[in-house]
Amino acid sequence: MPLDLPALMRLVGMTLVSPSDVATWIVAQRHGRDVLWMALALVAVASVLMLAITQLVLPMPPPSDGAVEVSPLTYTVIVGSLLVMLVFSIFFTGQALGGTGTFPAAIALITWFGAMGIAVRTVLAVVVAIAPSLTATAGLAGAVALLWCLVNFVNVLHGYKSLAKAAGVLALTLVGLLFGVATILALIGVGATGGAS
């Protein structure tokens, strides 16, 4: 499947409708690790660019007193680090619970998950612009859709054939990520009494 823009849009739609089938297709591509890591980095950069575009269209309120200003480069590092931690966490946690997934497949699926996140945030930005009253509903729907996709991705990755087991792996992974996020925020100087903008 040539991944031009129309094909990518179709793949996004297919992922929301049948995430397991798309995950199976992605795993079957068997790209090399160098290509996959580069794709993951591009997703992190695209996330920052999408945020910048959104703030141009829908300016955010000025940061409150005491908030820590996060530069685009720092934000890129944060997003990239979270994606990398998600790759390692889902792979090793799944392996520990009897999963059979490969590390390159984990990179590929988390890269696509990151791309799906960009797509969902783009739709949310459009909703905010044209129907602000639906922002909360759209945000919740987007979060549920991404969570559903990720559970199916984990299920396909590790060959569990059980969404409940995949959800358990994801729950354990997210607990580990909370510690990772706390570490990253501490490294960039966001303490318990401060915030980030």
Structure tokens at 141: 């729907």
Cα 53 to Cα 112: distance, rounded to the nearest angstrom: 21
Tens of pLDDT, residues 1-31? 556 678 888 999 999 999 999 999 999 998 8
In the beta sheet, which residues pair with residue 67? Answer: 195
pLDDT over 90 (residue 181):
no
Cα 196 to Cα 185: distance, rounded to the nearest angstrom: 9
Tens of pLDDT, residues 147-168? 999 999 999 999 998 999 999 9
Spatial contact of 114 and 83, defined as CB atoms under 8 Å apart: yes
Spatial contact of 110 and 40, defined as CB atoms under 8 Å apart: yes
Tens of pLDDT, residues 50-106? 877 777 766 655 555 555 566 777 778 888 888 999 999 999 999 999 999 999 999
Strand positions, DSSP E, 103-155: none
Cα 196 to Cα 194: distance, rounded to the nearest angstrom: 7
Q: What was the pLDDT predicted at 166?
A: 93
Q: b/e map of 83-92 (b: 16 or more CB within 10 Å)?
A: bbbbbbbbbe
Three-class DSSP category at 32: coil
Cα 74 to Cα 77: distance, rounded to the nearest angstrom: 5
What is the percent of the chain with per-residue pLDDT over 70, rounded to a whole number?
82
pTM of the model: 0.84
Chain-centroid distance, C-alpha 6: 21
Contacts of 81 (CB under 8 A, 6+ apart): 180, 184
Cα 11 to Cα 129: distance, rounded to the nearest angstrom: 25
